[in-house]
Amino acid sequence: MNFKEKYGQYALITGASSGIGEEFAKQLAEKGLNLILVARRKEKLEKLSKKLEERHKIKAIVVVADLLSGNFLDEITQVTDSLEVGLLVSNAGMMYIGNYLDNSLENDLKMIDLNIKVPAILTHHFVQKMVERKKGGIIYTASLLGYMGTPFASTYAGTKAHEIVKGEGLAYELKPKGIDVLVLNPGLTETEMTSNNDFSGMPMKLMKPNLVAKSAIDALGKKVLVTPGFMNNMMIWMTKRMMSRKMNTKMFGMFMKKTF
């Protein structure tokens, strides 16, 4: 598939400075798309931008923005208003693992804003123009944990459940308008987000972010939901076919309690 023809000139990636977002940038650059790299860390973004421009002869624009600031969309649109953004990769996210009441209300609300509110703002802005062009694509990074109530990561799992359900509905609405929607549901992945916890007691191992990003890029336009990794897919199959929601919650509660 020619990504430029199907989606347009530019892909915008949030959380592009590391982890899955950085891998999205590398792999979409290989596809020939120009990039808009959005994150807070200027030095990392500029280093990545230079490398991708030299290696793939594409344009990679850096936008340093705090997505939790009130004017983040203005900072992005100053750059993007004159560009054809045909693929939105809403990847930035925030996770907390631990006792619910040990996390402050402020951090809980930040997680809700970053994981739900920010993707909604970006979707409303960029998809309007995709509809006008009758082509485009959206990738939301959700989580395996969005399929079940997850003790010790209750808010995080809830935000990802929201993205899964929203993505499924949007995929149906937007397909006739030429827009592909995909929800990526990674399990444990080697990123900065998972670096502070011990997941050695979990039944699945941490995946490499390049494989996670590749699963989404390969599935875009073909599937609505994708979960990378055999064990992660087995876990979803078990949660849907063999276990009640109460059993799922109890099982994941036992696993998650050992990670912090």
Please say if 156 is a catalytic residue: yes
Among 7, 140, 147, 156, which one carries the catalytic annotation? 156
CA–centroid distance for 57 within its chain: 25
Return per-residue pLDDT of the chain as tens, 260 residues.
899 999 999 999 999 999 999 999 999 999 999 999 999 999 999 999 999 999 999 999 999 999 999 999 999 999 999 999 999 999 999 999 999 999 999 999 999 999 999 999 999 999 999 999 999 999 999 999 999 999 999 999 999 999 999 999 999 999 999 999 999 999 999 998 898 888 888 878 899 999 999 999 999 999 999 999 998 998 888 888 888 999 999 999 999 999 99
Task: Look at the chain and report how many structural domains it folds into.
Answer: 1
Among 255, 42, 24, residue whose Cα is nearest residue 138: 24
User: What's the CATH code of the domain at 145?
Assistant: 3.40.50.720
Residue 26's pLDDT is what? 98
- Taking the C-alpha atoms of residue 190 and residue 188, their distance in angstroms, rounded to an integer, is 7
Residue 204's pLDDT is what? 81
- Taking the C-alpha atoms of residue 94 and residue 123, their distance in angstroms, rounded to an integer, is 18
Q: Helix 118-133 to helix 154-174 angle, to the nearest 10 degrees?
A: 10
What single-letter DSSP state applies at residue 102? Answer: G
Range of the domain at 139: 3-257
State the DSSP string of 151-211.
TTSHHHHHHHHHHHHHHHHHHHHHGGGTEEEEEE---SBSSGGGTTS--TTSSSPPBPHHH
Residue 54's pLDDT is what? 98
Residue 50's pLDDT is what? 98
Q: What is the pTM of this model?
A: 0.96
